[in-house]
């Protein structure tokens, strides 16, 4: 019977972790393993400790969380001994499939759009931008108008900085499924020397441009499928 419950947890769509008192993982499931690609063990342990009940017991917290593309609406913390603490995250489920209106896509060199957005948004701004570009990237189909609006906001976010880095590269081994087809992903990674705050408006703009935007520490990453 124990084996049955373990299997149930192992195949659960919601990730769970059990940490020891030092914050090391003692046990986790497949979904949790996947989640670790985007968030550190330390961060998850801290999340569990910060939200655990004062006395031993189980605590449910309805807090919105977002790691990469995955959103969670609640967590459960199991704290029954000084030796271990468990964290379970509850996924926000969406049955919307990833689709793109191909009518608005135009074949374009992404670097010319980056240059255009940078020059218009930071025209007389003395900011230093360290550009690390993989110039071998091919021309791709993009909703130019929406992508520029999103990109403008990205650059505008850093208008008071003195120096930032922008890396543009193709992600290795990662794909996005759009209109039931698998596409490689291009990532534009902005990094600064300060924490970058989550920005819902930018997230909405990115979605209109068929892109995803992620915020983590001092980085802001815009990813979009390479549609050729």
Partner 1 sequence: MKKFIAKSEESKKILNIVQVSSALPVNVIIFGEIGVGKKLLAKEILPEAIILDGKFLETSIINNSINIDQYKELIITNIHLVLNKKEFLSNLINIKIVATSKTLLQDIEEQFAIKVEISPIKQRPEDLEEISNIYMKNANEIYNSHISLDSIQTDISENGISLKKSIYKNTLLHSLSDNDINQALESFISKKLDENESYKYFLKIIEIPLLHVAKTKFKSQLQMATKLNLNRITLRKKIEQYFGENHD
Using rule CB under 8 A, residue 116 touches partner 1: yes
Piece in contact with partner 1 (CB under 8 A), picked from 82-90, 109-117, 180-188, 220-228: 109-117
Element (H, E) at 153: helix 144-157
Contacts of 1 (CB under 8 A, 6+ apart): none
3-class DSSP assignment, residue 11: coil
What minimum distance in Å lies between the beta carbon of 124 and partner 1? 6
- Closer Cβ to partner 1, 148 or 211, answer by number: 148
Using rule CB under 8 A, residue 148 touches partner 1: yes
Strand 84-91 relative to strand 181-191, pairing: unpaired
Where b means 16+ CB within 10 Å and e means fewer, 70-97 reads bebebbbbbbeeeeebbbbbbbeeeeee
Closest CA to 199 of 157, 166, 152: 157
Using rule CB under 8 A, residue 123 touches partner 1: yes
Q: How far is CA 40 from CA 23, 114, 147, 165, 191, in A?
A: 11, 31, 30, 23, 18
Of 124, 180, 197, 200, which one interacts with partner 1 (CB under 8 A)? 124
- Closer Cβ to partner 1, 144 or 170, answer by number: 144
- Closer Cβ to partner 1, 115 or 174, answer by number: 115
Of 119, 130, 162, 179, which one interacts with partner 1 (CB under 8 A)? 119
Using rule CB under 8 A, residue 135 touches partner 1: no
Using rule CB under 8 A, residue 120 touches partner 1: yes
- Please give the residue ranges that form the binding site for partner 1 (CB under 8 A): 106, 108, 112, 115-116, 119-121, 123-124, 144-146, 148-149, 152
């Amino acid at each position: 019977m124990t084996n049955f419950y373990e299997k149930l947890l192992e195949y659960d769509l919601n990730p769970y972790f059990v940490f020891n008192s030092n914050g090391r993982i003692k046990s986790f499931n497949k979904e949790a393993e996947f989640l670790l690609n985007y968030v550190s063990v330390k961060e998850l342990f801290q999340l569990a400790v910060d939200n655990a009940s004062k006395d031993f017991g189980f605590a449910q917290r309805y807090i919105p969380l977002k790691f990469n593309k995955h959103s969670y609406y609640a967590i459960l913390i199991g704290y029954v001994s000084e030796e271990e603490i468990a964290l379970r995250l509850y996924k926000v489920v969406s049955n919307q499939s990833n689709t793109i209106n191909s009518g608005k896509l135009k074949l374009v060199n992404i670097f010319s759009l980056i240059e255009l957005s940078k020059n218009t948004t930071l025209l007389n701004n003395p900011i230093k931008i360290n550009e690390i570009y993989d110039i071998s990237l091919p021309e791709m189909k993009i909703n130019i108008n929406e992508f520029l609006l999103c990109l403008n906001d990205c650059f505008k976010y850093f208008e008071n900085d003195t120096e930032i880095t922008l890396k543009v590269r193709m992600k290795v081994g990662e794909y996005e499924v759009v209109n039931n087809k698998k596409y490689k992903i291009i990532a534009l990674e902005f990094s600064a020397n300060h924490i970058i705050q989550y920005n819902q408006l930018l997230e909405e703009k990115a979605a209109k441009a068929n892109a995803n935007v992620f915020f983590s520490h001092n980085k802001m990453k815009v990813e979009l499928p390479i549609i050729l």
